[in-house]
C-alpha cells in the first residue's frame, strides 16, 4: 500500500507548517496520531492551525476560541516537537476590540502562540462550501475586518489566509494595504476543482497563475505548498480503492508546486501536510515523499528553506 512508503530522505529536517488536532464525535486526531504519522521522518517541529477544537463553551462567543489555544498547549508536551507554534482564531471583524482576544491567546499559548487564521473561503456557487467561519463575501474588504487586521499587526502576529483562487485579488488588496503584516497563504492559494470548476482544471490553473503572480508581488506574503490531498482540489483520490503513491502525487501537483517555488522563491515557500485533512487521499509519508521528489534537483539551501527554514522564520520557531 502507498501509505507504507519509507521516507525517501529521512535525514532532512522537517517543520510541518500546517496540521490540525481535533476530537470530534465523528473523527479524532490527537498528538499520538500525529507522532505515529511522523515516525521515520525528521519532523522536528510543527505548526498547529485552528480547526474549532476545545472552544470555551461557557464564555462570550468572542473569547471562546481562546479555549483552543489552551487545549492544544495542554496536549502538546514541551520538547515533543508538536505544535511549537499555534495559529488560532479570532474574529477580526471585532475591529479594535479584538486586541483583548489576541492578548488572551498570547497568554494562553505560553510562548507558542504566533498568529490568527480567519478563514474567508467563500464562493457564490451553492456547490462550493464556505469556510467553517461562515464568512460573508469580500470579508477582507469590510472596514471592521481591516481594523481588526491592523490590530493583529500591532500585536506582532501573523495572518494565515485560507480562501479560494477566485478570491486572490482581495488578498492582494489586503497585503498591499498592510505591507508590514506577515501573511501566510494556505494550500497553494486554493485552486479548487469542484462545483462549477469541476472538469475545468486547465482554466482554473490559468486564472490561478495570473492571480498568484499578483500575490507574489506582495513581499509580505509567504506561501504554503500543500493541501493537495483535499477532495475539493478535484483529484478524486479519496474514491479510489488503491490510493496514490508519492510518484503519482508529485506528477500531478509537482509542476504547480515548482512554478510557485520559482515565482515566490524558496525563502517564501514552506511545505505543509495539512493532516489529517489530506489523509483522505494519501498517507503522511506519501505526502512528504512527493515533496522530496518535487524538490530533488534543488540546492541543499533551497530544500532546507522549503522543508523547515521558511516556516521556522515565519512562525519564529527558534525564538
CB-CB contact of 49 with 11 (8 Å): no
Q: Is 57 inside any structural domain?
A: yes
Instruction: Give the model's pLDDT for residue 79.
Output: 60
The position carrying cell 515566490 is: 264
Report CA-CA distances (Å) from 37 to 5, 196, 313.
12, 35, 24
The position carrying cell 475591529 is: 95
pLDDT reading at 258 higher than 50? yes
Q: Is 183 inside any structural domain?
A: yes
Q: Is 319 inside any structural domain?
A: no
pLDDT reading at 1 higher than 70? no
Instruction: Give the model's pLDDT for residue 318.
Output: 86
CB atoms within 10 A of CB 13: 14
Mean pLDDT value across the chain: 96
Question: Alpha-carbon distance 149 to 140, whole Å?
Answer: 9
Q: Is 11 inside any structural domain?
A: yes
Q: Is 258 inside any structural domain?
A: yes
Q: Is 172 inside any structural domain?
A: yes
List residues bridging with 224 in a β-sheet: 270
Q: Say which CATH number the domain at 198 has.
A: 3.20.20.140
CB atoms within 10 A of CB 295: 25
Whole-structure pTM value? 0.97
Q: Is 215 inside any structural domain?
A: yes
Structural domain that includes position 105: 2-314
pLDDT digits (tens, 9 = 90+) for 4-56: 699 999 999 999 999 999 999 999 999 999 999 998 889 999 999 999 999 99
Domain count, the chain: 1
Helix/strand/coil for 103? helix
Cis status of the peptide bond prior to 170, with omega within 30 of 0: no
pLDDT-based confidence at 80, cuts 50/70/90?
confident
pLDDT digits (tens, 9 = 90+) for 124-181: 999 999 999 999 999 999 999 999 999 999 999 999 999 999 999 999 999 999 999 9
- What percent of the chain is predicted at pLDDT more than 90? 95
Q: Is 82 inside any structural domain?
A: yes
Amino acid at each position: 500500500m502507498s501509505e507504507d512508503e519509507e521516507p525517501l530522505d529521512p535525514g532532512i529536517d522537517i517543520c510541518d507548517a500546517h496540521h490540525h488536532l481535533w476530537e470530534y464525535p465523528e473523527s479524532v486526531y490527537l498528538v499520538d496520531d500525529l507522532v505515529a504519522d511522523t515516525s521515520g521522518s525528521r519532523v522536528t517541529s510543527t505548526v498547529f492551525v485552528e480547526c474549532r477544537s476545545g472552544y470555551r463553551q461557557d464564555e462570550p462567543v468572542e473569547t471562546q476560541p481562546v479555549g483552543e489555544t489552551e487545549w492544544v498547549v495542554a496536549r502538546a508536551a514541551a520538547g515533543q516537537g508538536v505544535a511549537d507554534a499555534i495559529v488560532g482564531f479570532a474574529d477580526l471583524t471585532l475591529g479594535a476590540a479584538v486586541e483583548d482576544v489576541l492578548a488572551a491567546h498570547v497568554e494562553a499559548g505560553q510562548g507558542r502562540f504566533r498568529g490568527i487564521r480567519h478563514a474567508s473561503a467563500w464562493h457564490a456557487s451553492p456547490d462550493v462550501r464556505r469556510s467553517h467561519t461562515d464568512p460573508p463575501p469580500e470579508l477582507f474588504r469590510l472596514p471592521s475586518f481591516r481594523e481588526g487586521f491592523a490590530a493583529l499587526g500591532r500585536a506582532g502576529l501573523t495572518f494565515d489566509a485560507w480562501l479560494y483562487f477566485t478570491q486572490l485579488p482581495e488578498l492582494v488588496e489586503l497585503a498591499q494595504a498592510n505591507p508590514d503584516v506577515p501573511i501566510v497563504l494556505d494550500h497553494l492559494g486554493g485552486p479548487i476543482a469542484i462545483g462549477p470548476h469541476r472538469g475545468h482544471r486547465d482554466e482554473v490553473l490559468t486564472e490561478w497563475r495570473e492571480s498568484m503572480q499578483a500575490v507574489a508581488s506582495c513581499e509580505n506574503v509567504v506561501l504554503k505548498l500543500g493541501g493537495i490531498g483535499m477532495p475539493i482540489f478535484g483529484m478524486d483520490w479519496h474514491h479510489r480503492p488503491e490510493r496514490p503513491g508519492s510518484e503519482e502525487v508529485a506528477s500531478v501537483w509537482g509542476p504547480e508546486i515548482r512554478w510557485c517555488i520559482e515565482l515566490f522563491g524558496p525563502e517564501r515557500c514552506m511545505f505543509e501536510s495539512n493532516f489529517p485533512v489530506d489523509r483522505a487521499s494519501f498517507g503522511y509519508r506519501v505526502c512528504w515523499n512527493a515533496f522530496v521528489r518535487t524538490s530533488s534537483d534543488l540546492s541543499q539551501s533551497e530544500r532546507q528553506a522549503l522543508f523547515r527554514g521558511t516556516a521556522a522564520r515565519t512562525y519564529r520557531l527558534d525564538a
